[in-house]
Amino acid sequence: MLEAIGPLVEGRAFHGTAAYDTPRPFVTIQQIGGEAVSFVDNARPSKINALVQVNCWGDSREQVYLLMLAIEDALRASEAMVARPSGAMMDRDEPEQGMFGEQQDFSCWCDRPAPT
């Protein structure tokens, strides 16, 4: 997912958190759940799902809104996964830090990695 988003923000896409002094705009992602795949015969599924929260941060409302639209387009176009929004964007402003933010959650399906 970071590979799809990173080019939109000059590589400033991070899992979890970003450093306080990260130049804007930047993106953070974190897995907040997902759909567990289970079969009656306990067979190992070939796909996995993750519900991923994507947050983008910038200096203006317009900047983060347009960035989130570009992120949605990039994730939909990804060949590494099937990613679909699970809801609409939400404003996530941080007035004390002078930052504007957008949040959107995506349901992502991809191949399950082979056991090591």
Band (pLDDT 50/70/90 cuts) for residue 107 is very high
Two tokens at 13? Answer: 């896409």
Distances (CA, A) of 87 to 19, 105, 106, 112: 27, 6, 8, 24
Task: Give the residue from 57, 86, 83 showing the smallest Cα distance to 1.
Answer: 83
Is residue 92 scored above 80 in pLDDT? Answer: yes
Task: Give the residue from 30, 13, 33 showing the smallest Cα distance to 22.
Answer: 13
For the segment 25-48, what is each residue's pLDDT rounded down to a tens digit?
Answer: 999 999 999 999 999 999 999 999
Query: Could you give the maximum distance between any two Cα atoms of the chain, in Å?
Result: 53
Tokens 């947050």 locate to 55
Band (pLDDT 50/70/90 cuts) for residue 116 is confident
For the segment 59-88, what is each residue's pLDDT rounded down to a tens digit?
Answer: 999 999 999 999 999 999 999 999 999 999
The pTM assigned to this predicted structure is: 0.91
Q: Are 25 and 5 in contact (CB under 8 A)?
A: no
Q: Residue 53, class by beta-carbon neighbours within 10 Å (0-12 exposed, 13-18 middle, 19+ buried)?
A: middle
CATH number for domain 2-111, candidates 3.60.15.10, 3.10.20.30, 3.40.50.2300, 3.30.2000.10: 3.30.2000.10
Query: CA dihedral in degrees (94, 99, 105, 109; nearest 10)?
Result: -140
Ordered by start, the domain boundaries in the chain are 2-111
